[in-house]
Structure 1
Amino acid sequence: MGATLRALRALVLLAGFYLLGVVLLAVLAAADWACVTWLHGPAAFKVLIVSVVLAIPIVRGMFMLRTPRGDPRPGVAVTDRQEPVLWNTVREIAEHVGTRAPDEIVLTEEVNAAVSEDARLLGLRPGTRRLYLGLPLMTGLDEMRLRAVLAHEMGHYANLDTRLTPLIARGRAQLIRTVTHFQERSDKKIAKERAKQEKKAAKRIAAGKTAKEIDTDGEGAMYRAMAAIYLAYGNFYMRATLSASRRQELAADLAAVRIAGRDAAAGALRELNALDPAFDFYMHGYATLGVGSGLMPPRGQVFGGFRTMLAARSADLDELRTELSTEPASPYDSHPALAERVARIEALPDDGRGGQAAAARPSLELLADADASMAALEPAVLTPQALALPRVEWAELVHRSMLGYAGQGAERIREAAAAEGAAPGLAGLLDAIDADPAVRWRLTEHFPKSEQAAAATGRAAREFARSALRRALSQLATDRLADSGTARWQLSWSEPATLRYPAGDFADRLDEALDAAVADQPDTEPLRKLVLAP
């Protein structure tokens, strides 16, 4: 479908909203005329009031002329002077696609690239174009795959997709506003009636009478009915506009293939499928690991560390690169299923450009100084509270953060031990075990249990309890060792952080000491000597 037909359809869909409003106003006017003609007195007056109240949100929605503007995306705008190579690359691709290049390039913190245009007069006049380019996305792509992504985005400009966005957004906003208003009026009416009935019920109870059951089922029915009408049209509107969005994505994919080649375009989508969850894992497992302990990574490493993790875990992401979800797209998805897009691209004839993709340099080399860009992005996207936290090197951040998390877990065990009369800490618990070995099994009753452990009886229940007790003693012991500096949490970019003990057979001796402490005839002396002795 050409841009003219798509614009015409968008206008027709928007006009449908106004037509729906006119029809509903006509129905209300007809009801008013019939009321005045056939009814008299308070009943007629009540119907007139209801119709006026229902007409207000309809009229308000119809005359909401201003197209809503979303909040600007956080990021760092870079000029031609600051990033000449990146700007030249974008302009070159835009020229090959056959469209005007963006007026601004904004570096963001997302594993994504997107374009926008501040079109005017419902998309009839072009406006300022912006390209949003995620640094985490660039971190995971080589230059040819990034060129495929950029060509895809320039394809949206060439197909005038961004010019129609304000028109479509206006219809969505008007529908949402109208539906929300009717739902809010319904909720207020229900709440008012509920409060009224509850007040009457309270008076009846105070008088020694039986209160009636609260019943608000019939309240706000007219408002809900009006909301349902607009919601039905809204669902139709969303399905129609989003189906067009999915076709636009497929058309933009062809632009990516034409500019960067089949293999680079398909490879970019496959890499995106791996980068998105990898970045989420990195942000939770590394970048924000120390927030709970009041720490942040070194300046520039909040996003810069993602490069290090990808290099260490590249093999772990191969499955995500090769196995794409085959779940079909929903009618309310703006993009086709990734597997469908990749299959369409890979079904195209080989264009002989696979070698270019294999030899491409990392896309971060398009930036004048990638590390400086990572550092400049932090104050643009992080909260003031996060920016105010102390910065420490990665090794120290991991150790102190894990020490804090381990301390929280140990504190819960100490609370359980205190409930059984044990003094705080590992020493107090071992003293309690020596005084009364049965305290070990009572202690485990304070810990959460799996369904299997909760259902176990006899010897099986004792073994579940033994395992839980051993984990608790291990946690107290490792917390004591790490806090005293005997052991230290070790940073790893390829696997979870691990606690490193002193050299030699310390770990084996600790295992033996824990086994002795939870044996049927407990012996706490090895654990005392290994962990508590100076």
Structure 2
Amino acid sequence: MLSSAEIAARRHRHARWSEQAQQLFEQNPARYWTGLALLIAAGYLLLTLTVMTPLLVLVAVVAALIFKPILFLLLKKAIIFLFALIYWLFKSLWVKAEIPQGYLLNEQQCPALFAELQALRKSLRVPTIHQVLLDGSYNAGVIQTPRLGLLGWYHNTLVLGLPLLLTVDTAQARAVLAHELGHLSRNHGAFGNWVYRLRLRWWRVLMVLDNASESGARGLAQTIERFVSYFSAYTLVYARRCEFEADAVAAELTSKPVAASALVATHVSASWLDDAFWQPTYRRADHEAEPVADIYQQLRAFTQQQSVPAADVERYLAALQRRQVEAFDSHPPTRERVAALEQIPQWQPPTQQAAERWLGPALDTVLNDFSRQWRQYHAEGWQSHHQSLQADRERYQAIRTMDDHALSKDEQWDLARLTERFQPDADALVLYQRFHDQYPDDLTGQFVLGQRLLAKNDGRGVEYLTKAYEEFALREAVCACLVDYFIGQADSEQTERWERRAREHHDALRSAQAERATLLKTDSFESANLDAEALQQLHYSLLQTAAIKRAWVARKIVRHPGPPVHVIAIEVGGFFTSNGKVQAAMQAAAHGMRNSMPVLVVATQGGTAELGRKIKLVGQAIYPA
């Protein structure tokens, strides 16, 4: 398992290598392509050696056992490890590619769309598009799925986002479609997908070796990681170049101004829909018990009747101009793509919805189907939010009837929070300030107070947010607030500082999540120190698992801050306990615990016996009571 420092080091190396590869491509393209070919050949050689080496070692060990069977007692653990490593390595090499599924369109439904598609295919001489899917994203793309694995024979799927078609006109949509087909015409898809799957195989091999506790495997993992990271950084340059080439194809089939306006429109309209339509829609759950029934019909009417305000256009274009390419970005910044078309970023309001033209009479059916699916998907979360809000409303009314001087800490916090929620015209900042004055060490209070001060452009908020950064759970939000504030203040030094801290926190968070989701033989444990009520709850959760004879609970000792990681070790009863029986009991125990608390489950028998014995030594007995 990687530490946050190791993840940060990998990120830094990746960024440096990506920049070097970009410079090489700009200065000497021929040398870049030669390097790519050599990297691919070296990668296959390294992959072969990685998989074949443990296989050859295992063959040698088995051969030695034939002549000296007594060696089995000495080499038992090594043989088990080799078998497991070979299994997971071969499994990691199989990258299964499924043909995408979704809302299928056909030529009878949408003749105008398929006529446009056929015309562009004829102009670009691209392969057949086997299916056209519609989804709810603000995006478009062509997905190539190899039906014969490494041998190819690609199934081509065009995916179009319905919100995209509702916010761009026909000319802009044609440019978007030409861009995606341009990838096919230049064979970007086949080669790019091949490179992607090759990179994915290496990353999967790396994950297997990273999680191996043996020092030899970890040493091999370090070697492979550097190669895979370098290959990934090197090929991102190619991926970004593909975008420029596809943009040129779009400009050739439409025009440079239209292709550029399509790039800008997708950026501006996506941000506008999120701010002006989707966020207000989700806020309706505050007052409405059921999700909106005709959401996509409302989206259609909204995009027909509303236009992006000039102030918002200016704000979105400013964000577009500020964005810099990140180390892991496969797409160049939009401003660079627009500049490559010899244009400047400008907002061109759509003249007619592409959805109206391309989907025609089928649009009404599509909107009905999407609305129904959206309502079904959001029903549970929407209702839960609404019920929670009603409970908050009742609590707010109760707190308001109390004497301010008699309020507990939680009641004071809820008074400020709920006043801001239910009385937006009231100045909740005064209540947050009062809470902070009484509880100056509460970091959540520091965060909210600082956030509200910066919203009023009061620089005192920086001090409060800097203090709140000490709380691990608040770091991501603190960084986002301060980056936004310093961008508005045109303070590039502080903006870069807090962006760097955000990346560092992201790396630490990934390490913390991985640490809490996995168990290794090298892990240490301590008593969970659960009270009698919590132990009784765990006991009842295990009652339905008949195979369990005894069980213990302990807490994993972790390096990263966050909630505790509880691990339950079970002992399976019976005269004969096969691995299958142990695994079934572990799965049943985990299922029984799903409503109690988040836990990991191991057993004192089978493959997790070593971990189970550790937990048994320090854990609290929970079964039988």
TM-score range, shorter chain: 0.5 to 0.7
Identity of aligned residues (%): 19
Distance in 2, matches of 1:268 and 1:262, equals 10
Aligned to 2:406: 442
Aligned to 2:253: 259
Distance in 2, matches of 1:116 and 1:12, equals 25
Name the aligned partner's letter for residue 413 of structure 1. Answer: Y
Across the aligned residues of Structure 1 and Structure 2, the Cα RMSD in angstroms comes to: 4.4
Higher alpha-carbon deviation: 23-32 or 303-312:
23-32
> In the alignment, is the contact (CA less than 8 A) between 1:111 and 1:137 conserved in 2?
yes
> In the alignment, is residue 83 of structure 1 matched against residue 110 of structure 2?
yes
Aligned to 1:511: none
CA displacement, residues 16-72 of structure 1 (integer Å, 9 cap, x when unaligned): 442451685599699989x99xxxx98x97578548725753575357664322573
> In the alignment, is the contact (CA less than 8 A) between 1:117 and 1:129 conserved in 2?
yes
| Structure 2 CA distance for partners of 1:325 and 1:359, relative to 1, 3 Å | closer
> In the alignment, is the contact (CA less than 8 A) between 1:147 and 1:260 conserved in 2?
yes
> In the alignment, is residue 453 of structure 1 matched against residue 434 of structure 2?
yes
> In the alignment, is the contact (CA less than 8 A) between 2:136 and 2:163 conserved in 1?
yes
CA displacement, residues 309-357 of structure 1 (integer Å, 9 cap, x when unaligned): 6743511541255221433322321111222212222359xxxxx9xx8
> In the alignment, is residue 103 of structure 1 matched against residue 130 of structure 2?
yes
Name the aligned partner's letter for residue 265 of structure 1. Answer: A
CA displacement, residues 365-418 of structure 1 (integer Å, 9 cap, x when unaligned): 221132322222345x5474547999xxxxxxxxx999977644432324535x
- Give the superposition deviation at 1:252: 0.6
> In the alignment, is residue 128 of structure 1 matched against residue 155 of structure 2?
yes
CA displacement, residues 487-519 of structure 1 (integer Å, 9 cap, x when unaligned): xxxxxxxxxxxxxxxxxxxxxxxxxxxxxxxxx
> In the alignment, is the contact (CA less than 8 A) between 1:287 and 1:302 conserved in 2?
no
Distance in 1, matches of 2:204 and 2:237, equals 22
CA displacement, residues 229-271 of structure 1 (integer Å, 9 cap, x when unaligned): 3332321232233222111111111111111211111111112
- Give the superposition deviation at 1:224: 3.5
Q: For structure 1, list consecutive stretches of 5 or more residues without a partner in the other structure.
A: 187-219, 349-353, 391-399, 418-428, 433-438, 458-467, 469-534
Larger Rg: 1
The secondary structure found in structure 1 opposite 2:306 is helix
Aligned to 1:372: 365
| Structure 2 CA distance for partners of 1:246 and 1:47, relative to 1, 3 Å | farther
> In the alignment, is the contact (CA less than 8 A) between 1:172 and 1:234 conserved in 2?
yes
Q: Structure 1 runs of 4+ off > 6 angstroms?
A: 4-7, 26-33, 387-390, 400-406
Matches within 5 A, 1:54-453: 54=82, 56-57=84-85, 60-62=88-90, 66-70=94-98, 72-74=100-102, 76-121=103-148, 125-186=152-213, 220-281=214-275, 282-286=277-281, 289-290=284-285, 293-299=288-294, 301-302=295-296, 304-305=298-299, 307-308=301-302, 311-312=305-306, 314-315=308-309, 317-323=312-318, 324-347=320-343, 360-366=351-357, 367-369=359-361, 370-379=363-372, 382=374, 384=376, 386=378, 407-416=390-399, 429=401, 439-443=403-407, 446-448=411-413, 452-453=433-434
> In the alignment, is the contact (CA less than 8 A) between 1:113 and 1:134 conserved in 2?
yes
> In the alignment, is the contact (CA less than 8 A) between 1:256 and 1:265 conserved in 2?
yes
Distance in 2, matches of 1:123 and 1:30, equals 28
CA displacement, residues 261-298 of structure 1 (integer Å, 9 cap, x when unaligned): 11111111112112333343433421573399541223
The secondary structure found in structure 1 opposite 2:352 is coil
- Give the superposition deviation at 1:90: 1.5
> In the alignment, is the contact (CA less than 8 A) between 2:169 and 2:350 conserved in 1?
no
Distance in 2, matches of 1:6 and 1:140, equals 42
| Structure 2 CA distance for partners of 1:48 and 1:456, relative to 1, 3 Å | closer
The secondary structure found in structure 2 opposite 1:150 is helix
> In the alignment, is residue 18 of structure 1 matched against residue 47 of structure 2?
yes
The secondary structure found in structure 2 opposite 1:128 is strand
Distance in 1, matches of 2:316 and 2:327, equals 25
CA displacement, residues 182-237 of structure 1 (integer Å, 9 cap, x when unaligned): 34443xxxxxxxxxxxxxxxxxxxxxxxxxxxxxxxxx544433433333232123
Q: Kindly tell me the number of residue pairs found equivalent between the two proteins.
A: 382
- Give the superposition deviation at 1:154: 0.5
> In the alignment, is the contact (CA less than 8 A) between 2:296 and 2:370 conserved in 1?
no
Name the aligned partner's letter for residue 297 of structure 1. Answer: V
Distance in 1, matches of 2:374 and 2:80, equals 48
